[in-house]
Amino acid sequence: MDLCREEDNHLFGFLTKENVPTMDKNCSESAFEFAIDLDLLARGYMAVDKAGFDRERAIFPEVALAFIRETQPKEWGKLEALHGAKTGDLVLADLCRWMDAHGSLATLRHGFKCFGRTLRVAFFKAAHGLNPELEARYKANRVGITRQLAYSRRRLPPPRRHLGHVAQIPARQESPA
């Protein structure tokens, strides 16, 4: 099976004919990553450009803010009425502070507090289909994949990993409590 077919290039704007991996000894890891990407994209993941990653905060800020704005317009509107143009920065600061204190998984499950409001960065599937609003929120989840992301701000050269994320919050190791 050819994992690096030219007709699959439309899935990745960053791949060109010259850098599409092939299945020889020198780039089998790259071909494996490519196969993972194809499978995840076919299952609804979105390709997220690594240029949007904020290494200091370990988050994709613009995508996370867009998710919150689109899925929670009432909460966003109330925050924006209070803070104006600084709303995005304040929401991101509270999100990162909350993740540092409670961890990524707890934040994904329960959301985070921002000026007395609970904001969510993911919505889980309802046990039943009786509430169309819950179904719509669940379908609005953004699950992405970023290829060869440099995420460390401490080590040079930074490590590069294949990263999956929900609402553009990378899965990162939780610190022991």
Which tens digits make up the pLDDT trace of 53-66?
A: 998 888 999 999 99
For residue 113, which phi and psi values (nearest 5 degrees)? Answer: -95, 135
Q: Which H/E stretch holds residue 122?
A: none
In a domain, 58, yes or no: yes
Task: Report which DSSP code applies to 169.
Answer: E
In a domain, 92, yes or no: yes
In a domain, 93, yes or no: yes
Report the amino acid identity of residue 41.
L
Residue 33 confidence (pLDDT): 84
Residue numbers of the domain that contains 159: 50-170
For residue 41, which phi and psi values (nearest 5 degrees)? Answer: -65, -35
Average pLDDT, the chain: 79
Closest CA relative to residue 119, chosen from 47, 66, 171, 173: 66
Q: How many other C-beta atoms are found inside a 10 Å radius of the C-beta of residue 107?
A: 23
In a domain, 79, yes or no: yes
Q: Tens digits of per-residue pLDDT, 77-112?
A: 999 999 999 999 999 999 999 999 999 999 999 999
Among 6-10, 20-24, 129-133, top mean pLDDT goes to 129-133
Report the amino acid identity of residue 1.
M
In a domain, 16, yes or no: no
In a domain, 97, yes or no: yes
Token digits for 73? Answer: 């317009």
Total count of domains within the chain: 1
In a domain, 161, yes or no: yes
In a domain, 163, yes or no: yes
